[in-house]
Amino acid sequence: MAERLASSASLLPASPSPSTRRAAAAAVASFPSCSGSARTGLRLRPSPSRFSQKAAGRGRGGAGGGLRVVRCMAASDAGQLKSAREDIKEILKTNYCHPILIRLGWHDSGTYDKNIEEWPLRGGADGSLRFDPELSHGANAGLTSALKLIQPIKDKYPGITYADLFQLASATAVEEAGGPKIPMKYGRADITSPEQCPPEGRLPDAGPRIPAEHLREVFYRMGLDDKEIVALSGAHTLGRSRPDRSGWGKSETKYTKDGPGEPGGQSWTAEWLKFDNSYFKDIKEQRDQDLLVLPTDAALFEDPSFKVYAEKYAEDQEAFFKDYAEAHAKLSNLGAKFDPPEGISLDDDKGDAPVEEKKVADADPAPADDNNGAASQPEPFVAAKYSYKKTELSDTMKQKIRAEYEGLGGSPEKALQSNYFLNIMIVIAGLAFLTSLLGS
C-alpha cells in the first residue's frame, strides 16, 4: 500500500502525512471488499487512465480564458442498460466479483456532501471514480480491477454513462448473491474531466479512534441516518479484507484459503459470496476467530442506537433485506444529476402497458368501413367454415345445414341466440363426423 500511495503522490495536492496514509489504507476495509481480482503492487499511471481518456478530452476541449464549462453526457439508454445487466450477471458467474462491484458503486456515490449544492462539486454518483486522481485515493485501492472487469461492457454499450454502470453493477451484484431486489433508477450524468473529482477523505475509515462517532460523521454528511448506517454495514456479509491492501485482517483463513477467486484475506462471514444476515449474527456471537470484526463492525452492537437495528437484523433477515434495499437505492442516488429528472426504471410495468394495449388492438382490429357510413352487413353464412378437418362438405350437405339453420330461426341477417348456436354446432359436428366416415 505504501508503494501504491507513493506512486500516485504526484496526483494529490500535497504529500499526505504517515497518519493520513494509514487512515486511508484502513478505509479500504470499510466498504465491501474485493473477492480476489486485484493484486498487490499495482501502480497507477499519473495521467488519466484508459477508462477516462476520451471523456477527459471532451471535458477540456474548447475551454478558454478563465471560464470552464461543466458539461455532462446524455442519459443512459434503457435498452442498453438491460443488456448490460445480463452481461454483468455473466461476469459474476465466472469471476466471483460481487464484493468489489458493490464497493465500486458505493465508493463512487459515497463522496457526496449534502452541504454542497453545486454539481459536481458535491460529489456522489457521477462516474468520477474512473479518473486516476480519485482512483488513486487510498480508500479506493484495488478498484482498478473492478474497472477492468466492466470496461468491456462500457465499450459494448456506449449509450450508458459510467455513473449508471457503476450503480447497475453494484445492485446486480447484491441481487445475484441472493440479496434483495434494489429499487434502482438510472439516467445519471457523468462528469467529464479529472479536475471535477472530489477531494480525498470523504469515505469512511475502518479503524477510527471513536468508531460510532466517525460513522455518523461520514454518513450524516451524506444525509443518511442510524438505521441506514447499520443496514448498509450489513453488506459486509460479502467479501474479504486483505492486510496487504488495507492493513486489516489475516492473510488467509479456513474460509478463504481456497478461494473462490484469488485465495486469501479474511472474510466477515463463512459464506462470503452469499448475501444474508450472517454478518450481524457472527458479530453478535464472535465465536470464530477466523471471521473479521473491525472496530466499526463492533460499534454496531456497542452503540445504543446502532444496537437496536443490529439486533433486529440478526434476528430478522426479511427486515434487514427491506431496509438494506431502501438504503442501497438511496446511497446510489446521492449527488447524482438525472436526465430525465425522475430517472429511468428498468423493472416497472409502466413501459409495458402500451405494448399490451397494442397487442389487443392487433388481435381484434376494427372492421374497415366499406359501406360509406351505413351499418355493417352480417357476414354471409359459409358452411365450409364448420367442415371437419380438411374435408370440404358437399353442396347437398351445405344445403341441409342451411335448412336446419334457417329452421331454427337463423339467417344471414339474424344471428341465433346463444342456445340455438350451441345446438347447431352440435348438429354440424355430428353431420361432419358422419360425412367423414362415409368418405373413408
Average pLDDT, the chain: 78
Q: Band of the pLDDT at 403, cuts 50, 70, 90?
A: confident
Q: What are phi and psi of 64, to 5 degrees?
A: -140, 165
| Cβ-based neighbours of 350, under 8 Å, separated by 6 or more | none
Q: Band of the pLDDT at 425, cuts 50, 70, 90?
A: confident
Does the predicted model carry a pTM greater than 0.75?
no
Question: Do 190 and 163 meet the contact criterion of CB atoms below 8 Å apart?
Answer: yes
Q: What is the pLDDT of residues 308-352, one digit of tens each?
A: 999 999 999 999 999 999 999 999 999 999 999 999 999 864 433
| pLDDT value of residue 23 | 46
Q: What is the pLDDT of residues 211-253, one digit of tens each?
A: 999 999 999 999 999 999 999 999 999 999 988 777 889 999 9
Asked if residue 42 has pLDDT above 50, the reply is no
Q: Which of 185, 114, 191 is nearest to 341 (CA)?
A: 185
Q: What is the pLDDT of residues 3-28, one digit of tens each?
A: 333 333 333 334 444 444 444 444 44
Question: Do 247 and 25 meet the contact criterion of CB atoms below 8 Å apart?
Answer: yes
Query: Does the domain made of 211-327 have the CATH classification 1.10.420.10?
Result: yes
Give the separation between CA 164 and CA 244, rounded to whole angstroms: 31
| pLDDT value of residue 79 | 95
- Looking at per-residue confidence, does 415 or 40 come out higher? 415
What DSSP character marks residue 46? S
| pLDDT value of residue 435 | 77
What would the mean pLDDT of 386-408 be, rounded to a whole number?
A: 60
Q: Rounded to the nearest 5 degrees, what angle is found at the Cα of 42, between the Cα atoms of 36 and 44?
A: 130
Question: Do 331 and 109 meet the contact criterion of CB atoms below 8 Å apart?
Answer: yes
Give the separation between CA 302 and CA 10, rounded to whole angstroms: 40
Question: Do 166 and 127 meet the contact criterion of CB atoms below 8 Å apart?
Answer: yes
What would the mean pLDDT of 420-433 be, rounded to a whole number?
A: 74
Give the separation between CA 265 and CA 98, rounded to whole angstroms: 15
Q: Which residue has the cell 465491501?
A: 32
Active site annotation includes 214: no
Catalytic option among 107, 137, 214, 328: 107
- Looking at per-residue confidence, does 412 or 207 come out higher? 207
Percent of the chain at pLDDT > 90 equals: 57
| Cβ-based neighbours of 12, under 8 Å, separated by 6 or more | 133, 136, 200
Please tell me the class of the 78-196 domain.
mainly alpha
Give the separation between CA 87 and CA 93, rounded to whole angstroms: 10
Domain boundaries, the chain: 78-196, 211-327
| pLDDT value of residue 432 | 79
Asked if residue 192 has pLDDT above 50, the reply is yes
Task: Kindly compute the dihedral angle of the four CA atoms of residues 323, 269, 219, 307, in this order, to the nearest 10 degrees.
Answer: 70
* Ranges 3-17, 149-163, 347-361: which has the least confidence: 3-17
- Looking at per-residue confidence, does 426 or 40 come out higher? 426
What would the mean pLDDT of 104-131 be, rounded to a whole number?
A: 97
Asked if residue 146 has pLDDT above 60, the reply is yes
